[in-house]
Amino acid sequence: MLTEPLFILAVLGAAIALSEWLVRSTVLRHLGTAMLVILITGVVANLGLIPTGSDPPPLYDVIFARVAPLSIILLLMRVRLGDLRQAGGPMLVLFGLGMVGTMAGVVVGMWSVDGEAAFGDLHAALGGMFAATYTGGSLNFNIIAQEYGVQEEGVLYTGAVAVDVIMTAVWIMVCIAVPRGLQALRSKPEAIATAEAQATADVRAATDDEQDTEQDTETVRLHELALLLTCACAILWGAEHAQAALRAAGLSLPGAILYTTFALILAQIPAMRRLRGGHVLGLTGLYLFLAVIGAYSDLAALAEIGSLGVTLFVFVTVLVSVHGLVVFGGAALLKLDRDVAAVASQANIGGGTSALAIARSLGRADLVLPGILVGSLGTASGTYVGFFIARMLGG
């Protein structure tokens, strides 16, 4: 297996290029680039061509820590806050339902596998970890794990990480497939064509692109790219230093909230939104992040931990199923948009970055900002939810 960073980047880049070509040129266009990137890199990694999550190279950490937030910043720098009027309330309601569904799912999942017998004294900590990560993301997952010393239990921790990554990748596909499947079942072909045309129009209006947004093309100039990269790096640098200063003052605030806020403030300056190139550059980084998500899906690592892995997988499957029933069932009862439900659910399970990918894959540019914002809200609240569930389970 080749582990050199340049080789891995070449494979990830090839997976993105192949996914985009398949979406543009074949019947797989309905799957969307986001889903295909995850599937292709998952297959490539599990065939042994690049590392999986069981032995991740430093490059993966760099992509998570630097490329993903920079991509979000670049995409946010074209967003108008007026988009919040289109999906703000429903998004918050469904995100809240998703949080409740996650907590209920942990309790039901632990009961279904007899968690105390299966996982021993760490069952409460494990429940808290998954409640945290499916509210806010992997940062919260590791905060809970460190507090209870779960990382010292190598087999249990590795299995939990593997199951988390695999389920996150699966849920991205579910959140893309469910809205499209419901639309196909309930709509006539003419209605579907009209909806797709309207979605494309919404994307163009929300992003103010002069070029065809569906093709993700922009006319760019070197000085504009340089300014965009300068601003994005400055925002991320400022957010990290602001977070450190707040921590020194006794305040804890996730960095994602800070850089999202800084990017949104800058985005309200008309001159910044007119800079071209950030859309394509940010989208490329976003797909690179999703490619690593796919590569992390190590099926062999899960198989090696035997019955414990099966129990973990059953627990998490029940958890996410309950979450999904609450979110999509709540959307149906309240007559809320199923696309909003999909983005809100993904903001819970995968965080703001993958919520952004879902919004784009569904052709809903108006849901990009709300999805990222509730993802940041999840990051801020996930640790508290995790500790609450751990304590409730006896931890």
- Does any domain span residue 349? yes
- Does any domain span residue 20? yes
SS3 114: coil
pTM of the prediction?
Answer: 0.67
Mean pLDDT of the chain: 82
Closest CA relative to residue 346, chosen from 330, 359, 333 = 359
Which distant-in-sequence residues (6+ apart) come within 8 Å of 111 by Cβ? none
- Does any domain span residue 327? yes
**Per-residue pLDDT tens for 245-288?**
998 998 877 677 788 789 888 988 888 878 888 888 888 998 89
Residues in the chain: 395
- Does any domain span residue 214? no
Domain with 342 in it: 5-50+59-209+219-392
CATH classification at residue 201: 1.20.1530
pLDDT at 205 over 60: no
User: Do 308 and 155 touch, CB atoms closer than 8 A?
Assistant: yes
pLDDT at 12 over 90: yes
> How confident is the model over 28-36, as a mean pLDDT?
73
**Per-residue pLDDT tens for 214-240?**
445 667 788 899 999 999 999 999 999
Closest CA relative to residue 391, chosen from 132, 112, 167, 114 = 132
Provide, rounded to the nearest whole percent, the portion of the chain with pLDDT above 70.
Answer: 84
pLDDT at 1 over 70: no
Structure tokens at 36: 């295909």
Confidence of residue 201 (pLDDT cuts 50, 70, 90): very low
Give how many domains the chain has, as a whole number: 1
Window from 54-68, 101-115, 131-145 with minimum mean pLDDT = 131-145
State residue 232's pLDDT score.
94
User: Do 386 and 129 touch, CB atoms closer than 8 A?
Assistant: yes
Confidence of residue 97 (pLDDT cuts 50, 70, 90): very high
**Per-residue pLDDT tens for 44-53?**
998 999 998 7
Q: Which range in 165-179, 244-258, 317-331 is most confidently predicted, on average pLDDT?
A: 317-331
> How confident is the model over 191-213, as a mean pLDDT?
39
- Does any domain span residue 288? yes
DSSP letters, 47-114, are: TTSS--TTS--HHHHHIIIIIHHHHHHHHHTT--GGGHHHHHHHHHHHHHHHHHHHHHHHHHHHHHHT
State residue 216's pLDDT score.
59
- Does any domain span residue 298? yes
